[in-house]
Amino acid sequence: MSETKTAAYICKGCGIGDRLDTEQLAKIAESEGKCSLVRRHDFLCNADGVNTIRNDVDSEGVTHVVIAACSRRAKTDAFGFDDVALGRANLREGVIWVRPDTEEARETTQEMADDYLRMACAEIQYMKQPEANQNAGANKHILVVGGGVSGMTAAIEASKAGYGVLLVEKTGQLGGWAVKLHKRVPDREPFADPQDTGASDLIKSVDHDKNITVFLHSSITRTSGAPGQFSIDISAESGETVTENVGSIIQASGFSNYDANQLPELGYGKSPDVVDQAGLEQLAKQAADGPIKRPSDGKEVESVVFVQCAGQRSDKAGHLPYCSGHCCNTSIKQAMYFKDSNPNVDTMVMYDDLRTPGNGEDFYRSAQRKGVIFTKGKTQQVSPINGQLEVKFHDMILGEEAVATADLVVLATGQVANSGVDIEQTTTLDVEDEGAESELPAEDNTSAVEVPVESILNLTYRQGVDLPHLRHGFSDSHFICFPYETRRSGIYTCGPVRRPMDIAQTMEDATGAALKAIQAVENAVLGRAAHPRSGDLSFPTFRREGCTQCKRCTVECPFGAIDEDEQRYPVFHESRCRRCGTCMGACPVRVISFENYSVDTVGQQVKTVDMPDEFDEKPRILVLACENDAYPALDMAAQQGLEYSPFVRIVPVRCLGSVNTIWITDALNSGYDGVMLMGCKKGDDYQCHFVKGSELAHYRMSKIDDTLQQLQLEPERVETHEVEITDIQRVPRLINEYAAKIEEIGMNPFKGF
Amino acid sequence: MSDVNTAMVQKYRNDFLKEVEENVEEGHWVKMCMQCGVCSGSCPFGPDWAHPPQEIFMMIRAGKRDEVLTTESMWMCTSCYNCIVRCPRELPITHIMHGLANYAHRLGIAPKMNPTRRFSIIFWNNITKTGRVNELALSLKLYFMDGFMSGIKNAMAMASVGIGMLKTKRLNPFALINHKGVKNPKQLHVLLKKAREIEDRRKGIAS
């Protein structure tokens, strides 16, 4: 686009025309906003209004459009012009709906509207219509790592949707844990008996699928590239390595059994008759529906005790702190192995809390009908005595210590994720070595469980060889909002590597991950972003001459999209980028920007606001609100007619992580009396759509006190809040409370300078 | 005494549970309890029970045969049916409690002086005698079950009620001797005897 032509359209619908002086707004757009074309319309989002804009773009050569009407989240279909730079002044949700329709309020309401129009005009002056990433790859193949139930299901689902799949399995056989099971927990009516695992059918369909190429005895020795253009080294045990290209990756590396040798108090290792659930599956397979014999002397088992939560849901050192979800159902199933072959076998399940997800409640009831006995108790000790096992436990219903004897004891141990190397620990070391500035303090990650630390993906990324973990060694993915997403674009996880789960949940999970992988390749091919800014064409660029090689962007990018070259300059992988702008917020010299979102597009909005005199008693509060949760919450508050202070000026940001501290200092220097930041919930149960953005922002703002001190300003002038999308009542209250506080503190002394 | 009465019961094995399933009315439901405790919480007499229903079910599974059969707990049940209504597993808890009490009584190990048990015996004997309850005889028997003096005391305490009933013709003193039973009580006795025989044979109780 050679020439810039800016046009502003002011809508008078939805009461905007009645409440505001649109003539004045038009004048502002023309004079201050430097719009060469200004139109007012009674009803801008109707066909006529939209056509007016369309015609101006097509025949008048308009390249930049300001729409002063409703929130940028409303009428996105009508105003979805994707060939121009578009700015929206939020006059409806941002102004008239949050202000009372009274004579006294008229003046401040009009000031609000004026400012929002100025801001929209300022924003688009620094905006360019983004052109899609030119470095996009076009490979649509999908790599699945792991040949268990999750991996096979993902492969089959992707293949059914028409995508070529490479399936890599470390061992010599597909099927994972499922082929080691005698039977599985039922997944269909009447949920009464164990059923066939179905693993052989899955293996058969994988083997017969022409879209799926299986690599057995193989592992991934190198992963580089980006969505649409990953390059993978697949190495066989024989040492032979092939390089393949794929568009996206599904990591279905599953789980390992918790090492029951860490439970000597429960008799494991002391007697061969104490087995874990996998051990019992093996015994049941040997028995093949006949009577199960105990390992020590081959005697038919007449009594068996199942110890639930063995080494899990416990805060003892070396134990798993979490619930593995499947083990109650599994023990019920295994008790049925005994009862179904001989109802006279005494089977007791010793539980603390019985949790039977899915349709497990029916399965539980069926086991009770078959005579499986459930005892609520905490097992303390299992010891071999006179050829039998003595189980000492605390009966929690009767409130007393008790003893039971059995021929066999089965320990329900938990799942430990096969999530590879915990890169957070290794990279922290790196950073210390090189003395680079990492803004986040190293987390105290004293995970109790040692998992085999062999890398699964061997990523060549700057941030580490595997996917980041969240808690307890499971790979980081939000379990409700965006379950299969990881912090590496184009790489998805499914199955027990994500969180503990059973076969039924795993198959559902794998199907979901397959769909995400397909979305990722389709977006990548078009040079667009994946979740959560799905379809975004912009991508970050940096001004090399200005860069000081501080490495903040490369360290802090939540998605590992930025590598470093030999001179420690950042290397952006556009296809890996999620467009959150965390790099832009991190950059101390402000050289990183997007075509339509930059330090300037927000900074100019901040500066363009009309700053009243100190003695006008009209403070100005800048609110930087995350567009994912805080801004929608504000919009919804407006829809509900909740009012807030007319002194705030709200600027939506892509993520609180993209907030550059220069905006804050500039705002305070130019006379704002306070700055509020609203982002998503952070921490282990984060709601941040970019995982780390909100956390980084909170950390950065905790450091801004120094700056405030230098300016001799009160620390209260900057506030950071965690806001959820449901905080509809709370958000206006926060604003009003802050406005009252600012009034108390008094005006910013920098006004007018 | 029967042989089941002296049977050795192993702790936390299914022996006693099986005995309950076979011999106690609705006993096959005991294994279905999921130990939520709603029954114990719902029982209006809950705090007065030594072992509320939830605990009794657990004791059965734990093989505490003596404790269960000799406890006064299930004799506390007033048949309000609150537990049955609320049990998420739909156990007929009231019936199980009566079943257990009855089984303990039949084995002869129920607490001898338990008032509910004693009342039940008096009631049973009263009703089976003629086939219909002789209310006046039943009341007198109850008043005097702890001896003559306490009987007089009980009667005096209820005197005003009795006189009131007499005045309103709700109480006929001649019913004491002139009670009308069923047409042929002899046949009823034969019938009851036969039923008892069948039950004993089924439950293995020597009569």
- Which sequence spans correspond to the domains of chain B? 4-111, 115-199
Domain ranges within chain A, ordered by starting residue: 1-129, 142-257+417-525, 260-413
Residue B11, min C-alpha distance to chain A (Å): 6
pLDDT (tens digit per residue) in A255-271: 999 999 999 999 999 99
Nearest Cβ partner for B58 among A371, A398, A403: A398
pLDDT (tens digit per residue) in A613-654: 888 889 999 999 999 999 999 999 999 999 999 999 999 999
**What is the arithmetic mean of pLDDT over A369-382?**
95
CA-based nearest residue to A355, from A500, A197, A160: A500
Q: Please tell me which residue of chain B has the smallest CA distance to A398.
A: B55
CA-based nearest residue to A442, from A457, A454, A455, A424: A424
d(CA A372, CA A351): 13
CA-based nearest residue to A156, from A593, A475, A511: A511
Nearest Cβ partner for A397 among B14, B31, B55: B55
pLDDT (tens digit per residue) in A522-543: 999 999 998 888 888 999 999 9
What tokens appear for A253 in the block?
A: 């590396």
Confirm if A376 and B34 have CB atoms less than 8 A apart.
no
d(CA B23, CA B204): 9
Rounded to the nearest integer, the mean pLDDT of chain A is: 92
Q: Does the pLDDT value for residue A751 go beyond 90?
A: no
Would the CATH topology of A142-257+417-525 be identical to that of A260-413? yes
d(CA A165, CA A246): 9
HEC string of B176-191 equals HCCCCCCCCHHHHHHH
Q: What is the pLDDT of residue A479?
A: 76
- Could you tell me which CATH number the domain at A1-129 has? 3.40.50
Q: What is the pLDDT of residue B5?
A: 47
What tokens appear for A366 in the block?
A: 């069926």
Asked if B12 lies within 8 A of A402 by C-beta distance, the reply is yes
Nearest Cβ partner for A404 among B12, B32, B59: B12
Q: Residue A718 forms beta bridges with which residues?
A: A675
pTM of the model: 0.88
CB atoms under 10 Å from CB of B2, counted, come to 15
**Residue A739, phi then psi, degrees to nearest 5:** -60, -40
Name the CATH superfamily, with its identifier, for domain A142-257+417-525.
FAD/NAD(P)-binding domain (3.50.50.60)
Q: What is the pLDDT of residue A132?
A: 79
Residues 6+ apart with CB under 8 A from B67: B51, B59
**What is the arithmetic mean of pLDDT over A304-323?**
95
Asked if A375 lies within 8 A of B13 by C-beta distance, the reply is no
Could you give the 3-state DSSP secondary structure of residue A579?
coil
- Could you tell me which CATH number the domain at B4-111 has? 1.10.1060
Neighboring chain A residues of B11 at a CB cutoff of 8 Å:
402-404
Confirm if A346 and A303 have CB atoms less than 8 A apart.
yes
Residues 6+ apart with CB under 8 A from A184: A178, A194, A195, A196, A197, A198, A333, A503
d(CA A153, CA A174): 12
Q: List the Cα angle A273/A276/A279 in 5-degree steps.
A: 75
CA dihedral sign of residues A706, A708, A712, A715: negative
Could you give the 3-state DSSP secondary structure of residue B88?
coil
pLDDT (tens digit per residue) in A685-737: 899 999 999 999 999 998 888 888 888 888 999 999 999 999 999 999 999 99
pLDDT (tens digit per residue) in A154-181: 999 999 999 999 999 999 999 999 999 9
Q: What is the pLDDT of residue B3?
A: 46
Residue A405, min C-alpha distance to chain B (Å): 8
pLDDT (tens digit per residue) in A543-587: 999 999 999 999 999 999 999 999 999 999 999 999 999 999 999
If one compares A127 and A437, the residue with the highest pLDDT of the two is A127
Which residues in chain B land under pLDDT 50?
Answer: 1-7
Residues 6+ apart with CB under 8 A from A439: A552, A555, A556, A586, A696, A699, A700
Confirm if A566 and A639 have CB atoms less than 8 A apart.
no
* DSSP for A332-397, written as a single string: HHHHHHHHHH-TTSEEEEEESS----TTHHHHHHHHHHTT-EEEEEEEEEEEEETTEEEEEEEETT
d(CA B152, CA B140): 10
Q: What is the pLDDT of residue B207?
A: 56
CA atoms lying within 13 Å on the CB side of residue A122: 22
Q: What is the pLDDT of residue A434?
A: 41
Q: Does the pLDDT value for residue A594 go beyond 80?
A: yes
Q: Residue A166 forms beta bridges with which residues?
A: A143, A213
HEC string of A686-745 equals CCCCCCCHHHHHHHHHHCCHHHHHHCCCCHHHEEEEECCCCCCCHHHHHHHHHHHHHHHH
**What is the arithmetic mean of pLDDT over A502-508?**
95
Asked if B62 lies within 8 A of A303 by C-beta distance, the reply is no
When mean pLDDT is compared across A32-36, A414-418, A454-458, A701-705, the lowest value belongs to A701-705
Task: For domain A260-413, give the fold.
Answer: FAD/NAD(P)-binding domain (3.50.50)
Neighboring chain A residues of B22 at a CB cutoff of 8 Å:
none
Q: What is the pLDDT of residue A480?
A: 79
A23-49 per-residue burial string, b: 16 or more CB within 10 A, e: under 16: eebbebbeeebebebbbbbeebbeeeb
Q: What is the pLDDT of residue A441?
A: 46
Q: Please tell me which residue of chain B has the smallest CA distance to A375.
A: B58
Q: Does the pLDDT value for residue A81 go beyond 50?
A: yes
Asked if B17 lies within 8 A of A373 by C-beta distance, the reply is yes
Nearest Cβ partner for B35 among A303, A346, A376: A376
Confirm if A63 and A3 have CB atoms less than 8 A apart.
yes
Q: Which stretches does DSSP call E strand in A129-284?
A: 142-145, 165-168, 212-215, 218-224, 230-236, 241-246, 248-251, 255-257, 274-276
Q: Does the pLDDT value for residue A753 go beyond 90?
A: no
B141: left (phi over 0), alpha (psi -120 to 50) or beta: alpha
Q: What is the pLDDT of residue A447?
A: 45
Predicted confidence band of residue A468 (pLDDT cuts 50, 70, 90): very high
**What is the arithmetic mean of pLDDT over A321-343?**
96
d(CA B64, CA A561): 65
Interface of A with B (CB under 8 A): 303, 346, 348, 354, 364-365, 368-369, 371, 373-376, 395, 397-398, 402-405
